A and B are shown apart, each in its own frame.
Chain A
Amino acid sequence: MKHSTRTEGEFTIVTIEESRMDAAVAPEFKNCIAQLLAGGANRLVLDISSVQFMDSSSLGVLVSLLKMVGNRGDLMIAGAKGIVADLFKLTRMDRVFRMVPDVGSVLGTVAA
């Protein structure tokens, strides 16, 4: 799964560089974020603004990652749009995750 990771202050920002998040990438995605969590990153912002499609297995992975974070930190979803945003609404996961329009709004800076 193509992605990039950077740190901004206390936040770890993971940008997904795939247009599809489906069963083919879900296990790798889970591993990759779980490793970041194990490494002590507990304020995660997941930038999914490039993702055009997300299936149920990836949504399941997101929830299991949220459970891993637990009360120790945050897992925020940035930039969900189109049918990906619809999926969060349909399954009410927009009430479970902290959804933000973009990474900039988390960092308190003006998004470019």
Chain B
Amino acid sequence: MNILVVDDARDMQLILRRTLTLMGHQVMLADDGQQAWHLIQQHNFQVVISDWVMPVMDGPTLCRTIRAANLPYYVYVILLTGMSGKQSLIQGMDAGADDFATKPIVREELEVRLRAAERVLDLEHTLEEKNHRLETVNRSLSQAQAVIQNDLERAAILQTGVLPRQKLFGRLCVDWYFQPAQYIGGDTFNYFPVNDDLLFFYSIDVSGHGISSALLSMCLQTLLSSTGELCCIEELTQENANEFPTRLAERLNYHLNHMLDTGDHYLTLIVGLVDTAEERLYFAQAGHPQPFLLNPATGALEKIECTGFPIGLLPDMEYETIQKPFPPGSRFIMYSDGLLELQKPSGEPFTEADLQEHLQDLMEYPASQVMSHLGDKLGLTKAGVGKPDDISLLVIDFCG
């Protein structure tokens, strides 16, 4: 080992150097603490054997200086003392010494003490290596995380990018709100006109949230697009509009149970049509939260009582189409259950009835303003507040 011997007595220096050199160590000498500290900064000593009482800088002060410097490697310090007794031991340990020896020191004793030093330094070295490896792993993990985060941010922009932009279709005004729990999510929706009178729409919530849910929701966007293989929009006419939602739900359920391996994922949805010529609304419900319908005659926002099997959970389920009058002045609202996982400022859970009440209060506002008002009321716009689940809401108004 590289050992520094610090002593103001020349004879002591020479005895120690001779003994240590014979043991196979490399030895340097210093006359006091200050000289020692200069040498320590220039050389890599593993062990310092220092006298206690010295001019300029004594042993305990040297010890404290070494510890305070926080060197990148460990220096094992043995303090030599002529003094005995508890008090000096306490002082020395407090200064950061690792071991003590009383003068005069004999070879055998020095040998055991240095073996102890070696054990500690070995441990220290192993720890240092492990720390170093951990730091390397940590760095690569942080890098990987940064890459994933960046990817997710891009993906979030893309996922929002597939959502419909157009919000006016003749007398139908549509608006929506979309907020994934983590960058991307399993909620999605779409709507597009089939002809001058029919508007097709759906609102979907894939179970779970995160990457796989988001990818399934993107996959559904494709399957249910106007040119998608499941939608078969060309089959749709005014006459069969009342069966179309059922057929589509059944087709989608078949597809998810037999054609697409969705793992543990399934989805709830509402899919339907607004017919402005017949002034009717047709939709199928598959386990999605019950939608609200504003009755323009009474001004009341009513919850439509309906139940249905989620899609992709069990094969061969039957679905039905619900029909409702949809005269001018009507409003239809669908949402995902993420809204019902929010908390009120009081800490109580936000319920279906609370949502209905809020939406009833916003009845006078056009669809385009409902979202911002609701967002304010529910604190959705607060930045940095994580949401427990994906949130989406879709409003369709038949403007009078």
Contacts and interface: CB of A to CB of B under 8 A. Distances in A.
- Whether chains A and B associate is yes
Given A56-B268, A91-B307, A91-B308, A63 B314 contact: yes
Given A56-B337, A96-B314, A91 B309 contact: yes
B296 interface: no
Contacts of B389: 55
Interface of chain B, helix or strand or loop or mixed? loop
Interface string A43-79: 0000000000101110111011000000000000000
A6 interface: no
A38 to B, nearest CB: 18
Instruction: Report the contact-size class of chain B (Cβ under 8 Å from the partner).
Output: 20 to 34
A90 B289 contact: yes
A2 interface: no
B268 A57 contact: no
Interface in A88-104: 89-93, 96
A42 to B, nearest CB: 20
Nearest to B340: A83
Contact of B309 (A23, A83, A92): A92
Interface in B307-363: 307-310, 313-314, 337, 340-341, 349, 351
Contacts of A57: 207-208, 264
Given A60-B266, A60-B313, A90 B287 contact: yes
Interface in A4-63: 23, 53, 55-57, 59-61, 63
A91 B287 contact: yes
Contacts of A93: 309
A61 B264 contact: yes
Interface in B353-393: 389
Nearest to B210: A23
B265 interface: yes
A90 B290 contact: yes
Given A23-B208, A60-B207, A60-B313, A92 B266 contact: no
Nearest to A23: B208
A8 B162 CA distance: 54
A56 B268 CA distance: 9
Contacts of A56: 205, 207-208, 266, 268, 310, 337
27 contacts: A23-B208, A53-B341, A53-B349, A55-B341, A56-B208, A56-B266, A56-B310, A56-B337, A57-B208, A57-B264, A60-B265, A60-B313, A61-B264, A63-B313, A63-B314, A83-B349, A89-B307, A90-B287, A90-B290, A90-B307, A91-B268, A91-B309, A91-B310, A92-B287, A92-B309, A93-B309, A96-B309
